């Protein structure tokens, strides 16, 4: 008999009802992971990969297609220099003082859920005894990267349910990447809420386990979308270029280091340095200030970073409250 993971599952048969929409108005007195940050966990870096391919060809020439040999060199470099890949779940448990983090933790993430994540990356991760976080779509009927069609990129197959289950059972964390890979900042709030909350529900049904991490499609996020992700019950959420310079300052806009097909092992060494992380943050901050001035919003007050989430068990029928 399957475990009931949230109160709304039985009432909705797992398909129709989405979690309550509630806003967190104030952060808790002590932010999640505060004690860990004081001990240096802010130095945790997050890498974001997309495709790991076996053969270099025209169909695999996209800048987000890293060759298998280069990925192996990345893992060798991380292993040689003492980095230990962890998951967001590991960090969450460590915040609860139930797990001690390794000396040099790092988080490897894979967006979109491509089939070659299972066929190529997964065996290499197992060979090196490493784990990763794989972000997949909630709509399991989508079989290829249809969101790239306008870019005229070759269609690449996505993970099947069985592949996801096998990797989950092997210790990989499975996170949500929305339902259909849309730009959450460009759609109506009702649509964005459906994309976020429904993805978590459906993936939890598939895994029979909690899904607590989220990756924003295209790395696009604003304060409204962050609030939705928090209210849907996610504990961590990843952007790409945006967010504070260091890990844990805003758990709903975790900055990641994008890995491209030009990222050699030596370039990886530069990218995981604190200096590079701070430099990237300064560029993003400067660009944000310039955009605000250009658009006439220089006096806008930014909302404080989100720190924690309301329990999903307190989220019943809130979507109507959100609309009102």
Q: Judge whether 210 and 289 are in contact, CB under 8 Å.
A: no
28: pLDDT strictly greater than 60: no
265: pLDDT strictly greater than 80: yes
266: pLDDT strictly greater than 90: yes
Range with lowest mean pLDDT among 12-16, 115-119, 146-150: 12-16
246: pLDDT strictly greater than 60: yes
Q: What is the pLDDT of residue 42?
A: 61
Rounded Cα distance between 251 and 264, Å, is 29
215: pLDDT strictly greater than 60: yes
The count of other CB atoms within 10 Å of the CB of residue 206 is 18
Q: What is the pLDDT of residue 134?
A: 98
pLDDT band per the 50, 70, 90 thresholds, residue 98 = very high
Cα of 55 vs its chain's centroid, Å:
27
Domains, the chain, in order of start with CATH, read 33-323 (3.20.20.370)
Region 36-65 average pLDDT: 76
pTM: 0.80
The 10s digit of each residue's pLDDT in 54-96 is 986 655 568 899 999 999 999 999 999 999 999 999 999 999 9
Q: What is the pLDDT of residue 37?
A: 47
Inter-axis angle of helices 161-169 and 189-207, to 10 degrees? 60
pLDDT band per the 50, 70, 90 thresholds, residue 218 = very high
Region 193-213 average pLDDT: 98
Q: For tokens 């658009």, name the residue.
A: 295
Rounded Cα distance between 160 and 140, Å, is 8
Q: Judge whether 217 and 229 are in contact, CB under 8 Å.
A: no
- State the burial class of residue 33 (Cβ atoms within 10 Å of its Cβ: 0-12, 13-18, 19+): buried
The two structure tokens encoding residue 118: 């299972």
pLDDT band per the 50, 70, 90 thresholds, residue 118 = very high
201: pLDDT strictly greater than 70: yes
């Amino acid at each position: 008999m399957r475990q009931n993971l949230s109160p709304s599952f039985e009432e909705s048969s797992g398909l129709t009802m989405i979690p309550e929409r509630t806003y967190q108005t104030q952060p808790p007195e002590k932010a999640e992971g505060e004690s860990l940050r004081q001990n240096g966990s802010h130095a945790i870096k997050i890498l974001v990969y997309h495709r790991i391919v076996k053969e270099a060809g025209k169909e695999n020439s996209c800048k987000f297609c890293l060759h298998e040999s280069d990925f192996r060199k990345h893992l060798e470099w991380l292993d040689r220099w003492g980095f230990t890949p962890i998951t967001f779940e590991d960090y969450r448990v460590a915040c609860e003082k139930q797990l001690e983090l390794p000396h040099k933790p790092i988080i490897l993430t894979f967006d979109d859920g491509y089939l070659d994540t299972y066929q190529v990356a997964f065996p290499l991760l197992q060979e090196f005894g490493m784990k990763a976080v794989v972000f997949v779509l909630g709509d399991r009927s989508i079989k290829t990267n249809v969101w790239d069609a306008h870019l005229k990129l070759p269609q690449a197959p996505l993970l099947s349910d069985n592949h996801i289950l096998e990797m989950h059972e092997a210790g990989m964390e499975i996170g949500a990447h929305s339902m259909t890979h849309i730009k959450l900042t460009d759609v109506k709030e009702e649509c964005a809420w459906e994309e976020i909350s429904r993805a978590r529900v459906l993936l939890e049904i598939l895994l029979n386990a909690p899904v607590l991490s989220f990756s924003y499609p295209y790395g696009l996020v604003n304060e409204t979308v962050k609030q939705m992700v928090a209210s849907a019950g996610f504990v961590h959420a990843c952007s790409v270029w945006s967010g504070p310079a260091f890990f844990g300052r805003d758990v709903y806009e975790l900055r990641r280091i994008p890995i491209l097909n030009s990222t050699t092992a030596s370039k990886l060494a530069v990218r995981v340095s604190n200096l590079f992380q701070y430099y990237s943050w300064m560029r993003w901050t400067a660009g944000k200030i310039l955009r605000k001035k250009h658009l006439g919003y220089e006096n806008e007050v930014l909302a404080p970073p989100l720190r924690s989430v309301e329990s999903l068990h307190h989220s019943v029928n809130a979507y109507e409250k959100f609309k009102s």
